[in-house]
Structure 1
Amino acid sequence: MKRLWAFRVWHGLVSVPVAAGVGVITNLATEGFPWALTAGLVVLVLVQVGLSVWQAVGDQRDRRDARDELLGSLRPPVPPSPVPIESPAQDDSCSVLRVGAVVGWLTAPFTPTPLWGRKVVLDRLVAWCVTSGSGADVVRVVTGPAGVGKSRLALAVAQALPAGWMAGRLRDDAAGLVERIAAAGDRTLVIVDDAESAAASAMETLVTGAVRHPDLIRVLLLARTDAALRFLSDDVRPRLAGVEVLGPVGEAGDRQRWFIEAARAYARTWRVPAPDLPDRPVGRRRGHPAGVTRPRPAGGAGPQRHPHVVADRSDDRTGEPGTALLAVRSASVTGRMRYRGTGRGGGSVAAAARVQRGRNS
């Protein structure tokens, strides 16, 4: 491809002076100025320039497509809404919200919530990406327990990069990825989720290749602990010195505010009414449960049900996968949040908000 591009450049540089020379010779060999011939030569030159530009754009598009074949998208197809098109308000047997459809919306690519409490580390990672030079670090590691928000932070970093940057996730095999990134010529951030589970050969290939292009490539590794990356060789491990450790953030008041913002964000995205919000702080602090739901009978008539505690935890660690699934399942099955009781889709919104608040804290 490089050889073909060089030939096209050479052809364009040669054809222009040749056409001009033909025009000069023709002018000297004839008594009058050959307007028709000159106009024809000008048209040919313009056509040649246009074709060269078109071919160059096509070649660049092909190189980017080749890169994207090995670089996973940060925005996969959006999962279906957990709220059915037709509300089954008249049928109690079908009124429980679909738990499986909610879980996909809790993952980093699809959550409509902002990134809470991570601005300092976000700015630091963006600055690391845009810093260029032969001595620039090409690899950073972000560690933290499951559900603490590593993937959400990585996505926010990708979104905050300046124009001209590309970002994507490492697929199963890194063979050829660095070469294709270099051929495309765009500065690129490669995110490796669950780096401790990635193949050692793929990690070695990616890191060693990225080191050869410090002005072009940045690699962001996400893992539960940096100790989990000890399977890498002695040549690669020194490149992993830069580590950002994430932990739970925010106090009880912050979590309550984030919960309210999350509930409203999911309601807007799913185009459903926002559910009733909890009347107690969210997050276990001094005996407070993770969240409280108060389902109401249809039309507000009848006695109130007892508050149902969702995902009561004994410590401050938030966002664990088991807790997340428990919160969703408790809200939609045990709590029996029905459409007519919480507003269409309200149960899913509340459950998603509770879990998302934990994932960002």
Structure 2
Amino acid sequence: MRVLGIESSCDETGVAIYDTEKGLLGQALFSQIDMHARYGGVVPELASRDHVRRVLPLIRQVMDEAQTGAEQLDGVAYTAGPGLAGALLVGAGVARSLAFGWGIPAVAVHHMEGHLLAPLLEDEAPDFPFVALLVSGGHSLLLDARGLGDYAIIGESVDDAAGEAFDKAAKMMGLGYPGGPRIAALAQQGNPGRFRFPRPMTDRPGLDMSFSGLKTFTLNTINDLGGAEALSEQDRADVARAFEDAAVDTLVIKCRRAVEQTGHRRLVMAGGVSANGTLRERLASQMDKRGVRVFYPAPQYCTDNGAMIAFAGALRLQAGEQAALPIEVRARWPLDQLASL
């Protein structure tokens, strides 16, 4: 089965073609980061308009790269949520129109299931069941993944997502947008002993997370140093190091509890924050001590991309799922509401 995948949930237009026998045949991604950076974050209307400009040229590019004509496609997969409603509608409208015109089925894909399944694109893919940590700018979830579509949420952030907290902390330090990679790079130069930030909600049982208090502690520390304008480069590096250490330790502690609670010996981590090198290193170290194997997507599949949507869509089309006639997108869509296949 050969599937065209379209991702347009936020600020990246991703297109890919996945073949269940031959693997990934082609992919392309356009990021809107430069456009949104001047505003300090994503502007939804601008994002939607840019998806309109980019999606069809990217589809042509990928079909040429994959040497695939419309007659060779067996389905079209698209992100139906969660995400920005206007951006989702662009991808959904194009996908459904192409599927109708080509006479092939379409399937709606949950954005976070795409991230969840991205590590399965690798040569050494995890088998179900496993614990999954999904960490991105909009979501921080711990899941008991028992099979395709069979996901139980066992922990989540009660306020800011981890990636959102990284972006906001970076903005406080005057680092610009997006903040996660910039904090990670700056933290490498930081003194680990200068500041000690709290590890929220780790002093009580449970798997839920919170990053709002960590964000507030970061702001208070910056203000104690005289404000963002008064920070030296070493001050910024030290604050970045303290923030990253606290966020990473919080996620690792919650993952350790999750594998102990479920008894699973496999852990999947995906989403934009999963590219953080410090998080990967500490999580691997802690899980190795417990005999738990950790799986990650390749770096290019950590951020939003069409490959994960084409792959997830292919699995659902193979299981017989198709999108209903009305075009529907969902800005909010709990992952545990997906149909089990």
**Relative contact order (alpha carbons < 8 A, sep ≥ 6): 1 or 2 greater?**
2
Instruction: Specify which structure has the higher proportion of strand.
Output: 2
- Say which one has the larger Rg: 1
Q: What is the TM-score when the length of structure 2 is the normalising length?
A: 0.29
